[in-house]
Amino acid sequence: MTKLNLALKPECKSGLPVKAIQFGEGNFIRCFIDWMIYRMNKQNLFNGRLIAVQPTPRGRTVPVLKEQDCLFTTILHGLENGKLKETFEIINTIAAARNPYDLADFEKLKEDFKLPTLEFIFSNTTEAGLVYTKEELPKVGCVLSFPGKLTQLLYERFKAFKGADNACSVAGLNILPCELIDNNGTKLKEIILKHADDWNLGDEFKAYVCEDCVFYNTLVDRVVSGYPKADAERYAKELGYEDALMSTGEDFCFLAIEGSDEISRKLPLKQAGLNVVVAPDITPYRLRKVRILNGAHTSNVPAAFLAGLDTVDQMMTDPVTGPFARSVIYDEIIPAVKLDKGMLTEFADAVVDRFMDPSLHHQLASILMNCTSKVKARVLPSILDARANNTHPVKLYFALAAFFALYKNSDGTSPVQVTRADGKTGQFQDDEYAVKAMAKAWSLYKNSEDSAVNTVRAILSDAKLWGEDLCGKLDVDLIAKLTHSVVTNGVKSTMEQC
C-alpha cells in the first residue's frame, strides 16, 4: 500500500512560514500542539508552521517524518449523541524535522533560530527533560539536555540580532514548555540562566532571556495513546495509505496558559474554538489535573502492568485493579488535594469516563516511560499532603511498592525488563540514574521482609531521586511490607489486602 507523503497528498503542501520550533516529536506533542496549530491554520488565524526537534539521542521519529514529508494523521475519538465518533486529519504543520545530534542538522537548527518569522518555542520532553544538568559547552555540536540545547540556540539568535535595528521587535521569543511540572516556564528560564552563567555567555545575553523572551507556565491535558498498533491495518484500509506516525487520542483537550490577553492575541487558540484558558494563575487547574488524572495513571499503572494488563481501559474494567484505581482517586488523592472537593469530584468523574474509553488502547508501557520523575511530580505530593494531615495513604503506599517492584530484576540499564504475572516480559524506559539506583537498592533484598526494609530505605533516602530524604516522612516499614508482599504473594493479592 502507498505510504503517506506529499506525492500521495499534494493538497497538503504548505508554504506557510516557520513561526515555531518544538523540542519533541513524539505522539503527544504532535497530537496536541501540532494539531492545534493545524486547527488555527484552517481558520487563517495563525498562518505558520513549525520545526520539530528530536530531544534525545535515542529518538527514532525524525527519519520517519522526513520519509513522510513531515505529514502524519491524527485519529481522535469522542462521543457524539452517545455514539463513538472518529475524526481523521492529516496534519501538515511540521515544515522540517531536525536531529540535533547530527552535526549537519544542528547547523540547520542554528539557522532556524535566526529566522525573523520565528515567534514561539514549544517543548514536550517529559518531566525528566526539564532538569538542570551541569554540562560543558562543546566547540561543535550540541549538549545533551533540552534546556542546554535551548540555551545554545537562543544564544545564536541573540548574536544574530544583537545591534540590529529591528532586534527589539523580532528577537524575543514566546516560550511555552508543556512538561508536566509546576511552573514549567519559570523552571526552564531558571535553568537557561544557570547555563548562561556556567558558559559565561554574558549579562547582555541574560538580559535578552529575561527581558525580550517571555516564558509561560502551562498545563496540557489530552490522553494520547499513540500509534494504534491493534487497528493500524484497518485504519490503513479506511484511509487508503500507510502512516507509520498516525497517532490516536481523545477528542477532549485542554490547555491552560499563565499569562495575560497578550498571549491570546499572539496565539489565537481560543479564537479557533479550542479549549484553552489564559489566566494570571493556573495553579488550581494544574493541581487538579496533575494530582487526579496524571496521579491516577502513575499510581495505578505499575501494579496493572505487573498484573499482566496492557491498556488503561483494561485496568479500569478488571475486577481487582478497576475498583482499586477508583478508590485511589476518590479515597486518597482527592482528600489530600487542597481544593474544592466538588470541583475535584466532578473532574474525577470525567477522568474515570475518559480512562474507560476502549478505543484509545492507551498502553500502560508508554505511561511508564520516565516513571520515576512522574512519581515524584504526580504521586509523592499527594502522599506528603496526606501525611501532613496525619493520615497514612495505604493505597498510595501500595502504589509506591508496585512501582519499586518494577525494578526488582533490573540489571541497572534502560529499558527496564519486567516479568509480569501473565508470564510475559514487558519493558519501559527510565532515567539512567534512577534505574541504576533502583537496581542497587534491590541488590539488598534477600527474599525477606527485613531485607525489603533495606531496599525501600535505600530508595526513599536517595535525595538525588526525590530532592530530599523521604524516610522520615513516610512509613518505611509499611511500604517495605507491601513491597515484599507484591514480590512474594503477587500484585493483585496484595492489592486486595489493601
Q: What is the per-residue pLDDT across 394-449, written as a single tens digit (0 to 9) for each? A: 999 999 999 999 999 999 999 999 999 989 999 999 999 999 999 999 999 999 99
Using a 10 angstrom Cβ sphere, with 0-12 exposed, 13-18 middle and 19 or more buried, the burial of residue 134 is exposed
Rg over CA atoms, the chain: 23
* DSSP letter, residue 53: E
pLDDT tens string 238-259 = 999 999 999 999 999 999 999 9
Q: What is the pLDDT of residue 358?
A: 81
Residue 353's closest CA among 254, 223, 230, 180?
A: 223
The verdict on whether omega for the bond into residue 116 sits within 30 degrees of 0, i.e. cis, is no
Average pLDDT in the 250-278 region? 96
Rounded CA-CA distance 443/176 in Å is 41
The per-residue DSSP string of 267-329 comes to: S-TTTTT--EEEES--HHHHHHIIIIIIHHHHHHHHHHHHTT--BHHHHHHSTTHHHHHHHII
Query: For residue 84, what pLDDT is reported?
Result: 82
What separation in angstroms does the CA of 468 have from each of 105, 389, 461, 473?
Answer: 39, 20, 7, 10
Residue 464 has pLDDT above 90, yes or no: yes
pLDDT (tens digit per residue) in 196-227: 999 999 999 999 999 999 999 999 999 898 99
Write down the pTM of the prediction: 0.78
The Cα 461–Cα 441 span in angstroms is 10
Contact partners, residue 49, CB within 8 Å, separation at least 6 = 14, 16, 17, 18, 19, 20, 37, 41, 92, 93, 94, 95
What's residue 85's pLDDT? Answer: 87
Q: Report the pLDDT value the prediction gives residue 164, as an integer from 0 to 100.
A: 67
Q: Please state the rounded mean pLDDT for residues 252-280.
A: 96
pLDDT of residue 299: 97
In the predicted model, is pLDDT for residue 132 greater than 60? yes
52 contacts: CB under 8 Å, gap ≥ 6:
22, 24, 25, 30, 34, 61, 62, 65, 70, 94, 96, 97, 98
Residue 176's pLDDT band, with cuts at 50, 70 and 90, is very high
pLDDT band at 170 (very low <50, low <70, confident <90, very high): low
